[in-house]
Amino acid sequence: MTRLATRLRVGEKIGLGFGLVGLILLGVIGYYDLNLRGVTTDFTKLSEVVGARLVKAFEIESRLAAMRGAQERFILTRDPAYAEETRSQAEQLLERAGALAAIDEESRLTAAAIQARTNEFIARFDAIVAAWETKGLDEVSGLQGAFRRAVHELQERSRDYQVDRPYLLLLQVRRGEKDLALRREAEYQTKVETLLDELAATVAASELPESVQEQLAGELETYRSAFTLYAERILAGEDPAGGKGEFRDAAHRFESILNAHYVPFIETLILEMRRREKDYLLRGEEATYVPMVQQLAAGIRGQIQDSLISPADKAVLAGLLETYEHDFLALVEQDRLIAALTLEMDAARALITPLVETNLERAHERMAETSALISATSAERARLSLMIALGAALLSVLLAVMIITRIVRPVRTMAGLLEELTHRNPSERIAVDPAGRDEINAMGIALNTLADHRANFYHWWRSSMQEAIALRDLNTGTTSAEQTEAVAELRTALLAQLQQLNAINGQMQQHAQTIEELAEQVGHEQRGRLTPDDAKALRTAAAEIASLLSVIDAHSASAATP
């Protein structure tokens, strides 16, 4: 790490430090952006997938409720508009299910099941609508309208054979006629004449054909005239002759005309049959009311067959009754079909409802799960982001401390060395990298060189002074002991100078090797050009060599002095 630091200039270190801090900040910003994108993606998924599924589920639920309501209103009112609304709501439900299928795989499976059940419901509903159309959507259409028209015509024709009141009055007239013959009292004549007036008015007010009314009126007049004469004879005391006479023949003819247009109690029976028919249509109790209708129809049929009306009239009435009964029983059969289809339709609808409700519940669950997951993930990301930001801040501080330390520590060491140089000759040197590009490293090299030069000159000065003193002592010594001691001092001084020269020689060889390496580098480069650092290294080596040579020159000069 120290070697790497010396290869960089101070500005490069500062720039590298700011660059690393910037990269850390960019990394933190990038991580925040990544987290933001992740949260945005999660919320997009929540909106586009889970939220969309929830919305589609609500729409499907709404369409299902509308379809069910329209279907129930159609069953209640048989209004075709509700049938169309039911189909329209079903189509919209299918469309919403198709939109649900486009969200994800789970939604696609759910939508497919909903669509299948909805199509089944539509098929059953269409079958019910067709069955109701066959039965009759109201009282004038379908089978209901058909048997209604038939029974109305039967009722209309039955009025032509409803002569119960004239027949009853005729019987009362005949009884009065017998009472007159038996009791010979004028009050019975009056009673018969009153009944004849009432009978004439009843015939005139009846719904019998006009020609029949005229025949009956003519016979009544014949009877009235003949009876008046008969009554006068009876009241005069004559023999009644067994109650026979022209009036009796007229009464028989009157009765024959009535019998030719009389089916006993036919209108009453028809009304009773209609009552039971209405009970069935209102309550739908087939087992109770349908047998009653059939029984009353059989009674009417028997009354028609036992009557004295013409065979043609019997055939017409029986045909109308047969048509009514056939259409009524067909309507009953259609009701059975409608009931079966309704059960199938309700079953199909019942299969749709759980699917839709389950889909809605699942959409709510997915919404809650996804929201909780996003909240937990966001909180975790926030904590991680805070930790990364704190780590980035600590790393930035650490980088700043490292860079400042790499700058300040050598400066502090150089300051100490300079302080040592001002007072003494220190032996310590600053640790430097000869190949370093750092300005502080260069200052350390220069300071080391200065210290080396000071040490060289100091050692030279001391050895020179020691040599001079030894020479002086040698020249001034009078005894052999003093001269021997002076020679030993001189030898020590020369040995020190020799060691210094050896050290200078080693330094000069190092500088020469540096120059040789740079020269070789210049020879191998294509352009043969030196970099600024190479030129600086050459100048430094040359200056060092010059400094060392000056020391050698000083030694040489001192050695040449006598």
| DSSP of 215-272 | HHHHHHHHHHHHHHHHHHHHHTT---GGG-SHHHHHHHHHHHHHHTT--TTHHHHHHH
CA distances from 526 to 119, 518, 535 (A): 87, 14, 17
Task: Bin 429: left if φ > 0, else alpha if -120 < ψ < 50, else beta.
Answer: beta
DSSP secondary structure of 49-85:
IIIHHHHHHHHHHHHHHHHHHHHHHHHHH--HHHHHH
Binning pLDDT at 50, 70 and 90, where does residue 518 land?
Answer: low
Per-residue confidence at 300, pLDDT binned at 50, 70, 90?
confident
At position 536, the amino acid (one-letter code) is K
- Residues 6 or more apart whose Cβ sits within 8 Å of residue 317: 154, 157, 158, 161, 263, 266, 304, 309
Higher confidence at residue 88 or residue 351?
88
Nearest to 53 by CA among 98, 93, 95, 103: 103
Q: Check whether 562 has a pLDDT greater than 60.
A: no
**Cα–Cα dist 266/308, whole Å:** 13
Length of the chain equals: 562
Instruction: Summarize pLDDT for 307-339 with one digit per residue, the tens.
Output: 777 788 778 888 888 888 888 888 888 888 888
Is the pLDDT at 550 greater than 60? The verdict is yes
The residue-averaged pLDDT of 31-37 equals: 68
* Whether the predicted pLDDT of 557 surpasses 60: no
Mean pLDDT of 106-129: 86
Residue in the block written with tokens 């520590």:
409
Q: Per mean pLDDT, which range of 24-38, 254-268, 344-358, 533-547 is the poorest? A: 533-547
Which tops the pLDDT comparison, 524 or 407?
407
Q: Tens digits of per-residue pLDDT, 456-503?
A: 776 666 677 766 777 777 677 677 777 787 778 777 877 776 776 777
pLDDT in tens, 48-60: 556 667 777 778 8
> Which of 272-276, 290-294, 316-320, 431-435 comes out lowest in average pLDDT?
431-435
Angle at 138 between CA 136 and CA 140, to 5 degrees: 85
402, 163, 339: which is closest to 262 by C-alpha? 163
Range with the largest mean pLDDT of 155-169, 256-270, 300-314: 300-314
| More confident: 272 or 434 | 272
CA atoms of 249 and 233, how far apart (whole Å): 18
What pLDDT does residue 88 have? 92
* Contact between 127 and 117 (Cβ < 8 Å): no
Which long-range contacts does 204-211 make (Cβ < 8 Å, 24+ apart)?
206/162, 206/163, 206/165, 206/166, 207/159, 207/160, 207/162, 208/160, 208/163, 208/261, 209/160
Could you tell me which residue, 501 or 166, shows the higher pLDDT? 166
> Exposed/middle/buried for 239, CB within 10 Å: 0-12, 13-18, 19+?
exposed
Of 391 and 460, more confident: 391
As given in the structure block, the two tokens for residue 334 are 């259609």
Across the range 518-525, mean pLDDT stands at 63
Round the average pLDDT of the chain to a whole number and report it. 76
User: What span, in angstroms and rounded, lies between the C-alpha atoms of 188 and 441?
Assistant: 165
pLDDT band with cut points at 50, 70 and 90 for residue 347: confident
Residue 209 has pLDDT above 80, yes or no: no
Q: Which of the four pLDDT bands, split at 50, 70 and 90, describes residue 47?
A: low
Residues 6+ apart with CB under 8 A from 208: 160, 163, 216, 261
In percent, how much of the chain has pLDDT > 90? 1
pLDDT at 235 over 70: yes
Tokens at residue 544, please? 């060092």
Q: What pLDDT score was predicted for residue 447?
A: 74
| CB of 107 closer than 8 Å to CB of 101 | yes
